[in-house]
Amino acid sequence: MDKKVLITEPTPFIEEEWGILEKHATVRLAKGVTEDDLIAEVKDVDVMLVVYAKITKRIMDSAPRLKGIVRYGIGVDNIDIQAATEMGIYVANVPDYCIGTVAEHTFALLFALTRKVILADRIVKNANWKIWTQQPTELMGTDLEGKVLGLIGMGNIGSAVAIRAKAFGMKVIAYDPYLEKDRAKLLDVELVDLDTLLKNSDFVSIHAPLTPETRGMIGEQELKKMKRTAYLINTSRGPIVKESALYEALKNRWIAGAALDVYEKEPPDRDNPLFKLDNVVLTPHIAWYTEEALKRLKRSVAEEAIRILNGMPPKNLVNKEVRFVKKTT
């Protein structure tokens, strides 16, 4: 029986992984990514490669041959993990392809905020700065050295951010209920509760996964606990921050500014009120997006798919309980 792999969406192109996989299976790109679209596509599929498409129980129920789902990336909140596990379907991700990449983008956003890079670029290009010995007050920057960086989440990416922050002479504190004290000590990071982090940080950077516990964890109450001079950066998952509360915080200057690479809704609506503010820097979910990271991602996704096609568990198995579930179809 010919093995089949379905790729839900290009990322942004699929030549590399397609070339690797076609030696092991027939590969095709889905014609659409709605639930109904995918239900119509998965009847004969053995492995699905998924970007942002939501993979529901209904989709899996329509795929009697499905052995595995591989996510292009780290987060798997768009996949019904419980349903996959109950049906004996492997779910894999690629947790290590962009650790340093996202950490670097975090600092790109941090510098854009603190050194007013975007505003300065606009002023120069519009020739709005006539006397170069009298710098505009709105371009006054903020040093990183000696400041406190608060990390929400200290997994691989959070740890990479902490290491880089130390090179800039920053003090790093972190909130992560799952981080072992020995690991924090090794990284020279002080573990604190969330309230302490919010009240004492000059910069708060989010690196937590999206879970029921973290969804909406940064709202009005949390933002009001931050310093009026503090900045918020989110390169993790948009729904961790309540955007309506963040808008009020920025508009009313509860905090100095924010930088987002992720949003509650992606892509965000054109009339998103955050777009009108001058104290927020926005990028389109590209923290992971470098040439090197993309190559690592594609290669890893293809290798995981091949393992599953060959009857082996994936290297980066998310739902480890699936090993104890016998697939009946």
Q: 1.10.1200.10, 2.60.120.920, 3.10.350.10, 3.40.50.720: which CATH number matches 99-282?
A: 3.40.50.720
Could you read off the pLDDT of 233-265 as tens digits, one per residue? 999 999 999 999 999 999 999 999 999 999 999
Q: What is the dihedral of CA 52, 105, 95, 47, to 10 degrees?
A: 30
Fold of 4-97+291-324: Rossmann fold (3.40.50)
CA atoms within 13 A of residue 204's CA, in its CB half-sphere: 30
> What's the pLDDT score for residue 70?
98
Q: Widest CA span of the chain, in angstroms?
A: 76
The pairing of beta strand 231-234 with beta strand 171-175? unpaired
> 65 catalytic, yes or no?
no
> What's the pLDDT score for residue 326?
57
Residue type, 277: L
Residues paired with residue 5 on neighbouring β-strands, in sequence order: 27, 47
Q: Quote the CA–CA distance of 237 and 96 in Å, as a whole number.
A: 17
Could you read off the pLDDT of 39-95 as tens digits, one per residue? 999 999 999 999 999 999 999 999 999 999 999 999 899 999 999 999 999 999 999
> 228 catalytic, yes or no?
no
- Which residue of the set 22, 180, 266, 321 is catalytic? 266
Write down the mean pLDDT value for the chain: 94
> 105 catalytic, yes or no?
no
Is the pLDDT at 324 greater than 80? The verdict is no
Q: Quote the CA–CA distance of 280 and 258 in Å, as a whole number.
A: 5
Could you read off the pLDDT of 190-222 as tens digits, one per residue? 999 999 999 999 999 999 999 999 999 999 999
Q: Quote the CA–CA distance of 65 and 82 in Å, as a whole number.
A: 18
Q: Quote the CA–CA distance of 55 and 314 in Å, as a whole number.
A: 18
Domain extent listing, the chain? 4-97+291-324, 99-282
Cis upstream peptide for 267 (omega within 30°):
yes
pTM of the model as a whole = 0.88
For 279, the token pair is 């104290």
> What's the pLDDT score for residue 124?
87
- Which residue of the set 105, 164, 207, 237 is catalytic? 237
Place of tokens 């989709």: 59
Could you read off the pLDDT of 101-144 as tens digits, one per residue? 999 999 999 999 999 999 999 888 887 777 777 788 889 999 99
Where does the pLDDT of residue 329 fall: very low under 50, low under 70, confident under 90, or very high at 90 and above? Answer: very low
- Least Cα distance to 322 among 87, 64, 49, 57 occurs for 87
> What's the pLDDT score for residue 129?
73
- Least Cα distance to 256 among 287, 228, 289 occurs for 228
**Alpha helix (H) ranges present in the chain?**
15-21, 35-39, 57-61, 81-86, 99-114, 117-125, 156-167, 181-186, 194-200, 220-225, 243-251, 291-309
- Which residue of the set 65, 115, 285, 296 is catalytic? 285
Q: What does the pLDDT average to over 26-33?
A: 96
